[in-house]
C-alpha cells in the first residue's frame, strides 16, 4: 500500500516584522505583506522565504530612472479572532491565520475582494534554462508577413537556477464584472467565465492588471507570461516563471487603479502636439518622391494631416532592418523631411529589432556580440545592446530629421504567424512560451517590447531633449507609458465584427493605465487570403460600398481615439483613394478629420491630464460614472475625456436599420454633440443614425474647448455646474517636466457664466480668459 506524504500545513505559526514589512510564516512557506501606498498592499509568497532574488524586480527595472514608492504613512495591524487585521488609510486586509488567505476591504465595511479559502497562493519550483550562443544551433528561416523569422529548433542551454510557476486563486462575487488585462483580438469586455492568455503576439498586448467593478485592481508584478481563468472551479491568475508569487492589491475604482499603476511603473510622458492630429500611413510608401507627392496632395486638397508614416522596406534592398535609407529610392532623406516640415507635416519611420545578414548594422552587432542567442534580434535587455541600437538609429535616421518611430514587431517572436491556419489560444500561448524561452530569460518573456521602448526613449532624450519621443509600437507593458509608447492593436482584418471587438479591446487596454492606444483605421488586411490572418471580408474593396461604409464608421470611431491613424494593405489608404474628392463620402472623411483638429484644445488638455493627473483620454463609462449600476457592463461605448461620450457604429445600415440604442448614464442629462437635442440620463435611448457622424453625447455642465477657425471657443453645456482643466505647453520638448506649462481651471455656473483661475503658468503662456470666446449650449428634450 502506498504511503501518503502529508502536505505541509499553511496555518500561520509566527508573525514578525521590520519597519513596514510583515512576515507570516507557516510550515508551508512565508507570506510577506508590504504597504506601498495608502490604498496599495504588496503581497508576496515564497516557500523558501527568499524575497531578495534580483529576478523579482517589478516592471520598474525596465527603466532605471524610475523608482518604486516608499510608504511611510499610517499602517496599523493587530490580531483578533484568528485573523491578522491590517489597516491603511484607503485599504483594510484580513489574513485568515488558519489558511493564510487574505480578504480585502476598501473604506467601507463590506469586503471587496477575497482570495480562495483553500491554498490561495501556490508556487511550483522548476529549473529554468536559457539558450546560449551555439554555432551548431539548428535554425530554420521562414518568410512571413512580418518579414523573415528565425525559428530556433535546437540549441545548447545552460541552467539559470530555480524559478516557480505561481498561482493566485480568488473568489469572485456572483454579479462581479472583471475587465482589463490588456488588449486581445476577441475584444471581451467582461472577463467573467473566460480564460485569457497573457502573452505578446501580433494581435495581443497583455498587461497583467485585472480590475473589478467592486472597486479594486490586482497588479501582478510578473514580467513573464500569465493566464487568467474564471470557471466553475473558481478564479485564478497564474504566471509562468517568477522567483516567487508577487502581486499588488489596489483598492479603488478605475481612476485610483490607474493612478496607482502610474505611481508604481512611471508617469505617462507627454507626446508631441502633432501626434494628436491625423496620421497617414500606408503599406507602403516606396520612395521619397511618393511621400512628397502624397504630402503635396494633402495640402492641395486642404485635407488636414499632421504626419506621414513610412512603413517597412525603406532600407537598402535585401538588408532587412538596416537603419538607413535606400539611396536609390530615398536619395535625399534629410531634404525630404525638411520639405515635409515646411508643409507642417512630420515624418515617422518603421524600425525593426531584427537585422538581415549582409548589412553594416548586422555586422556591427555580430562583432559586438549584441544579439540575443542564436538570433538576429538585438539584445534590448542589455545596456550595450540598447546603446548600439540607438547609435545606428541616430546615425542613419535621427540625424536626417525623423520625428517619430514605428517600433514594429517587438513581441519579439510571433510563432502564431508561421501557421497557415489559425490555432487555438492555448496552443498559441504554449508555442509562444517555447519560442520566446529560447532567446529570453523565462521570467522576462513579455517585456522585450518595454526594453525596446527604453532604447528609443533614452537614446533620443539624451541626444535631443527638444523633441519628444513618439514610438508607435505593437506591444506594450507597464513602464512603456513613461517612454513615449503608443500601442496599436496589430494587423487586424476588415469586418464589422472586428470593428465591434476593437472597441472593447481598446477599453480593456487603457483601463490598465496605458493611455495611448490606437488601431489601423479600416483594418490592415482587407481581402481574404492565405495564411489565416489575411482575413478581411472584401476581396474587391475598391468601389465596394459596404467596405466604404465600414471605413467611414471606422474613421469616425478613430477620430475619438487618443491617436488617430489610418493604415493598411490591399488598397491605398489616402482619403482620395477611398472616395472621390467632392463625393459625399470624401466630404464625410474630410469633415471628420477637421473635427479632430477643432477638438485639439480639448484633446491636448486631456493629454496634459494624462501626464499631470494620471488620467485617461479614452475611458470606460464607470471611470466617470462609478455609481451608475449599468455602466460597468458596457464595453461598446466610452468617454473621450469627461465631456464627450462616444457610441461607435459597428453594424452596417442594412442590419441596424439606421438606428442605434445607447445608454446614457445617470447623474446628469445629456446633449447630442451635433444637434444639441437633450436626453434624460439613467436610461437607454434609440437614436437615428446619419452617415455624417457617429453618435456622441455631452453631459450637462460639460466644458468643451474647441478651435473654431483659429479662435479658442469654450463651449459650455447648460443644466449643471461643471469645471475643466485647460492645459497648454510648448507642444514639444520636455520643458513641461520643469514647470513650463500652463494650467487654467475653467468653472461653469450651469447658466451663462464662466470663471477662470490660473493654477500654473510659465513665461510666454497666453491668458485663456482674454484669448477665448464662450458659447453656452442649450437645447430641448427629445
DSSP symbol at 474: S
**Residue 8: other Cβ atoms inside 10 A:** 10
Q: b/e map of 272-307 (b: 16 or more CB within 10 Å)?
A: bbbbbbbbbbbbebeebeebbebbebbeebebbbbb
Residue 322 near residue 361 (C-beta atoms within 8 A): yes
From 246, 408, 458, 614, the catalytic residue: 408
Residue 745 near residue 756 (C-beta atoms within 8 A): yes
Q: Which has the closest alpha carbon to 272: 731, 768, 683? A: 731
- For residue 105, the SS3 value is strand
Residue 201 near residue 209 (C-beta atoms within 8 A): no
Known active-site residue 411:
yes
CA 483 to chain centre: 12
Q: Which has the closest alpha carbon to 211: 519, 616, 557, 489? A: 616
Known active-site residue 14:
no
By DSSP bridging, strand 471-473 and strand 485-488 are: parallel
Q: Is the dihedral of CA 251, 254, 256, 259 positive or negative?
A: positive
Known active-site residue 778:
no
The whole-angstrom separation of Cα 40 and Cα 38 is 6
CA angle 646, 682, 617 (to 5 degrees): 30
Residue 41 near residue 33 (C-beta atoms within 8 A): yes
Residue whose C-alpha cell reads 461604409 in the numeric block: 549
**Residue 356: other Cβ atoms inside 10 A:** 18
**Residue 4: other Cβ atoms inside 10 A:** 6
Q: How far is CA 568 from CA 283, 297, 415, in A?
A: 6, 19, 22
Residue whose C-alpha cell reads 548589412 in the numeric block: 359
CA 441 to chain centre: 24
From 115, 229, 326, 411, the catalytic residue: 411
From 242, 443, 458, 491, the catalytic residue: 491
**Residue 653: other Cβ atoms inside 10 A:** 14
Q: Which has the closest alpha carbon to 237: 247, 245, 246, 227? A: 227
CA angle 196, 200, 204 (to 5 degrees): 60
The whole-angstrom separation of Cα 689 and Cα 442 is 50
Q: Which helix (H) or strand (E) holds 246?
A: strand 245-251
Strand partners, 126: 163
175 CB-near residues (< 8 Å, 6+ apart): none
Residue 109 near residue 123 (C-beta atoms within 8 A): no
The whole-angstrom separation of Cα 63 and Cα 455 is 10
- Active site positions, annotated: 408, 411, 491
Amino acid at each position: 500500500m502506498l504511503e501518503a506524504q502529508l502536505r505541509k500545513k499553511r496555518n500561520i505559526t509566527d508573525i514578525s516584522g521590520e519597519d513596514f514589512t510583515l512576515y507570516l510564516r507557516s510550515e508551508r512557506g512565508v507570506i510577506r505583506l508590504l504597504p506601498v501606498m495608502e490604498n496599495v498592499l504588496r503581497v508576496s509568497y515564497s516557500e523558501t522565504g527568499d524575497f531578495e532574488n534580483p529576478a523579482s524586480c517589478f516592471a520598474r527595472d525596465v527603466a532605471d530612472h524610475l523608482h518604486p514608492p516608499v510608504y511611510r504613512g499610517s499602517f496599523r495591524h493587530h490580531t483578533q479572532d484568528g485573523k491578522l487585521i491590517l489597516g491603511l488609510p484607503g485599504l483594510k486586509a484580513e489574513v485568515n491565520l488558519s489558511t493564510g488567505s487574505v480578504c480585502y476591504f476598501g473604506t467601507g465595511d463590506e469586503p471587496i475582494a477575497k482570495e480562495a479559502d483553500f491554498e490561495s497562493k501556490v508556487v511550483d519550483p522548476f529549473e529554468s534554462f536559457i539558450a546560449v550562443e551555439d554555432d551548431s544551433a539548428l535554425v530554420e528561416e521562414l518568410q512571413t508577413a512580418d518579414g523573415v523569422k528565425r525559428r530556433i529548433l535546437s540549441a545548447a542551454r545552460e541552467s539559470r537556477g530555480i524559478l516557480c510557476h505561481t498561482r493566485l486563486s480568488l473568489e469572485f462575487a456572483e454579479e462581479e464584472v472583471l475587465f482589463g488585462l490588456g488588449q486581445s483580438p476577441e475584444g471581451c469586455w467582461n472577463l467573467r467565465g473566460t480564460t485569457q492568455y497573457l502573452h505578446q503576439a501580433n494581435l495581443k498586448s497583455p498587461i497583467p492588471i485585472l480590475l473589478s467593478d467592486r472597486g479594486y485592481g490586482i497588479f501582478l508584478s510578473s514580467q513573464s507570461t500569465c493566464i487568467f481563468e474564471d470557471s466553475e472551479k473558481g478564479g485564478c491568475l497564474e504566471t509562468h516563471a517568477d522567483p516567487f508569487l508577487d502581486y499588488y492589491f489596489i483598492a479603488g475604482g478605475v481612476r485610483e487603479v490607474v493612478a496607482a499603476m502610474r505611481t508604481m511603473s512611471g508617469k505617462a510622458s507627454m507626446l508631441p502636439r502633432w501626434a494628436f492630429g491625423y496620421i497617414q500611413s500606408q503599406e507602403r510608401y516606396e520612395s521619397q518622391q511618393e511621400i512628397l507627392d502624397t504630402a503635396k496632395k494633402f495640402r492641395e486638397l486642404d485635407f488636414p494631416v499632421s504626419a506621414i508614416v513610412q512603413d517597412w522596406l525603406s532600407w537598402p534592398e535585401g538588408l532587412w532592418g538596416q537603419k538607413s535609407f535606400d539611396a536609390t529610392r530615398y536619395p535625399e532623406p534629410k531634404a525630404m523631411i525638411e520639405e515635409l516640415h515646411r508643409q507642417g507635416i512630420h515624418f515617422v519611420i518603421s524600425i525593426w529589432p531584427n537585422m538581415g545578414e549582409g548589412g553594416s548594422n548586422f555586422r556591427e552587432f555580430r562583432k559586438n556580440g549584441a544579439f540575443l542567442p542564436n538570433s538576429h534580434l538585438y539584445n534590448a535587455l542589455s545596456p550595450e545592446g540598447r546603446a548600439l541600437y540607438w547609435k545606428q538609429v541616430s546615425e542613419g535616421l535621427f540625424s536626417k530629421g525623423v520625428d517619430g518611430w514605428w517600433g514594429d514587431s517587438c513581441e519579439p517572436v510571433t510563432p502564431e504567424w508561421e501557421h497557415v491556419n489559425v490555432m487555438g489560444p492555448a496552443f498559441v500561448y504554449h508555442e509562444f512560451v517555447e519560442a520566446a524561452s529560447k532567446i529570453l530569460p523565462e521570467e522576462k518573456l513579455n517585456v522585450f517590447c518595454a526594453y525596446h521602448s527604453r532604447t528609443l526613449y533614452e537614446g533620443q532624450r539624451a541626444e535631443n531633449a527638444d523633441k519628444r519621443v513618439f514610438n508607435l509600437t505593437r506591444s506594450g507593458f507597464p513602464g512603456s507609458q513613461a517612454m513615449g509608447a503608443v500601442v496599436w492593436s496589430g494587423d487586424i482584418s476588415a469586418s464589422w465584427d472586428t470593428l465591434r471587438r476593437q472597441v472593447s479591446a481598446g477599453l480593456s487596454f487603457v483601463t490598465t493605465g496605458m493611455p495611448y492606444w490606437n488601431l489601423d483605421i479600416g483594418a490592415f488586411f482587407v481581402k481574404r487570403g492565405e495564411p489565416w490572418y489575411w482575413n478581411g471580408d472584401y476581396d474587391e474593396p475598391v468601389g465596394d460600398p459596404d467596405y466604404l461604409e465600414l471605413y467611414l464608421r471606422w474613421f469616425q470611431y478613430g477620430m475619438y481615439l487618443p491617436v488617430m491613424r489610418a493604415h493598411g494593405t490591399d488598397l491605398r489608404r489616402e482619403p482620395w483613394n477611398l472616395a472621390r474628392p467632392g463625393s459625399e463620402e470624401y466630404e464625410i472623411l474630410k469633415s471628420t478629420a477637421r473635427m479632430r483638429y477643432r477638438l485639439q484644445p480639448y484633446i491636448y488638455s486631456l493629454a496634459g491630464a494624462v501626464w499631470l493627473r494620471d488620467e485617461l483620454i479614452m475611458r470606460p463609462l464607470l471611470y466617470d460614472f462609478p455609481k451608475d449600476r449599468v455602466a460597468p457592463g458596457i464595453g461598446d461605448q466610452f468617454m473621450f475625456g469627461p465631456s464627450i461620450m462616444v457610441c461607435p457604429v459597428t453594424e452596417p445600415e442594412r442590419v441596424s436599420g439606421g438606428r442605434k440604442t445607447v445608454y446614457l448614464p445617470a447623474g446628469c442629462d445629456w446633449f447630442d454633440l451635433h444637434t444639441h437635442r437633450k436626453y434624460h440620463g439613467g436610461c437607454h435611448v434609440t437614436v437615428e443614425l446619419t452617415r455624417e457622424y457617429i453618435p456622441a453625447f455631452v453631459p450637462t455642465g460639460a466644458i468643451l474647448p474647441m478651435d473654431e477657425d483659429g479662435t479658442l471657443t469654450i463651449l459650455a453645456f447648460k443644466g449643471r455646474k461643471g469645471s475643466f482643466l485647460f492645459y497648454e505647453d510648448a507642444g514639444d520638448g520636455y520643458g513641461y517636466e520643469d514647470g513650463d506649462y500652463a494650467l487654467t481651471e475653467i468653472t461653469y455656473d450651469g447658466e451663462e457664466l464662466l470663471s477662470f483661475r490660473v493654477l500654473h503658468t510659465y513665461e510666454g503662456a497666453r491668458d485663456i480668459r482674454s484669448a477665448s470666446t464662450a458659447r453656452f449650449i442649450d437645447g430641448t428634450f427629445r
